[in-house]
């Protein structure tokens, strides 16, 4: 999926591939601007006017969502099968409508129910995420940041979807509230048998909630597979540097590693591997030829010339 601009195409999502199975929890991690949110918006086809899906497919139970009409996506897929917890609950909620009205609106639009049943379902959803049903008529400004985040999560669950995409669900929350929101998410996944896609910069959050991991860099997937396998033996130099930049609370004190330089301009990405200008292990082939996916182990894939 590319963004069309006056200067050319921004290659925001470029040959990205991953799979989410039933009751899987996939973490999408990487630096800002690497294409995580753009990938999520592409899946839901919630694209701005200048975005184009250039090629590829998004397959849900054998049906290609790219080929579906917008009308069918809105009626059959969006919120019914796949929903999203948007980044920044403060911005996702309308300030002049009560939180209850905003959730019931989603139910009435997508489900064949009357207003009374929609309100009852909304009260149950609020209780499910740990908010008293009496707060159904509260406005967003009357709730704390953590409560607003739970309201947005309840809204994403309003139509019993199969997959929930959570985009930075704990942004701007303090550590205690983050832990509470993560606990609610884990409980909901187990109770409702949901599949999750969790987008975050926080690798510790992914270890708490996910069983699979995709590391993204500059619009592409650098490494993908089982969470434990990637954490125990990261293969891509970018994944290695990301993990070494995260402090250990049990290991010996050491200086944190960093990744020098900046992510590339996706209007004119570098030739070959997009990470090579910042990679300490770059070879000549990295500057000339784009790497292809290599299956390192049964459930561990890396896109790097070191393994070809």
**pLDDT tens digit sequence for 257-267:** 788 889 999 99
**Apex 39 CA angle, 52 and 164, nearest 5:** 125
Do 53 and 42 form a contact (C-beta atoms < 8 A)? yes
Does residue 47 form part of some domain? no
Supply the DSSP symbol for 202: -
Supply the DSSP symbol for 265: P
Beta-carbon count within 10 A of 219 CB:
26
Does residue 213 form part of some domain? no
Does residue 98 form part of some domain? yes
pLDDT value at residue 145: 83
pLDDT value at residue 238: 95
Do 24 and 286 form a contact (C-beta atoms < 8 A)? no
Task: Quote the CA–CA distance of 98 and 137 in Å, as a whole number.
Answer: 5
CB within 8 Å of 140: residues ≥ 6 apart: 90, 93, 94, 95, 99, 148, 151
Does residue 135 form part of some domain? yes
Encoding tokens for residue 259? 């990744």
Residue 174's pLDDT band, with cuts at 50, 70 and 90, is confident
Instruction: Decide if pLDDT at 173 tops 80.
Output: no
Does residue 131 form part of some domain? yes
- Find the helix or strand (DSSP H, E) in which 9 lies: strand 8-10
Instruction: Decide if pLDDT at 8 tops 80.
Output: yes
Residues 220-234 have pLDDT tens digits of 999 999 999 999 999
Rounded mean pLDDT, 79-86: 92
Instruction: Decide if pLDDT at 280 tops 80.
Output: yes
Domains contained in the chain, number: 1
Angle of the 145-156 helix axis to the 99-110 helix axis, nearest 10: 10
Does residue 209 form part of some domain? no
Does residue 236 form part of some domain? no
Range of the domain at 113: 82-160
Q: Beta-strand (E) ranges in 114-237? A: 163-167, 195-200, 212-217, 220-226
| Residue of 79, 87, 197, 105 lying closest to 148 (CA atoms) | 87
pLDDT value at residue 83: 94
Does residue 119 form part of some domain? yes
Task: Quote the CA–CA distance of 296 and 285 in Å, as a whole number.
Answer: 19
């Amino acid at each position: 999926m590319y963004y069309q601009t006056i200067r050319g195409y921004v290659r925001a999502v470029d040959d990205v591939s991953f799979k989410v199975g039933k009751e899987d929890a996939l973490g999408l991690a990487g630096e800002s601007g690497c294409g995580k949110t753009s990938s999520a918006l592409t899946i839901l086809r919630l694209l701005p006017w200048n975005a184009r899906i250039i090629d590829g497919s998004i397959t849900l139970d054998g049906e290609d969502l790219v080929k579906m009409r917008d009308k069918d996506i809105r009626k059959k897929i969006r919120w019914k099968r796949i929903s999203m917890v948007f980044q920044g609950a403060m911005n996702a909620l309308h300030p002049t409508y009560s939180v209850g009205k905003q959730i019931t609106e989603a139910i009435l639009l997508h489900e064949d129910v009357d207003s009374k049943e929609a309100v009852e379902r909304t009260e149950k959803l609020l209780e499910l995420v740990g908010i008293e049903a009496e707060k159904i008529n509260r406005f967003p400004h009357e709730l704390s940041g953590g409560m607003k985040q739970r309201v947005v999560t309840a809204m994403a669950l309003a139509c019993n979807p199969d997959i929930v995409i959570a985009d930075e669900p704990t942004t701007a929350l303090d550590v205690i509230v983050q832990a509470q929101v993560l606990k609610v998410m884990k409980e909901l996944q187990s109770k409702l048998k949901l599949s999750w896609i969790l987008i975050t910069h926080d690798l510790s959050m992914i270890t708490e909630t996910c069983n699979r991991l995709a590391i993204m860099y500059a619009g592409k997937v650098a490494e993908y597979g089982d969470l434990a396998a990637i954490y125990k033996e990261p293969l891509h130099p970018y994944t290695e540097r990301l993990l070494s930049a995260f402090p250990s609370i049990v290991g010996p004190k050491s200086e944190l590693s960093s990744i020098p330089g900046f992510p590339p301009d996706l209007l004119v990405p570098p030739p070959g591997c997009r990470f090579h200008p910042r990679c300490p292990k770059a070879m000549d082939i990295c500057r000339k030829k784009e790497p292809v996916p290599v299956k390192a182990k049964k459930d561990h894939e890396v896109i790097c010339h070191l393994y070809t």
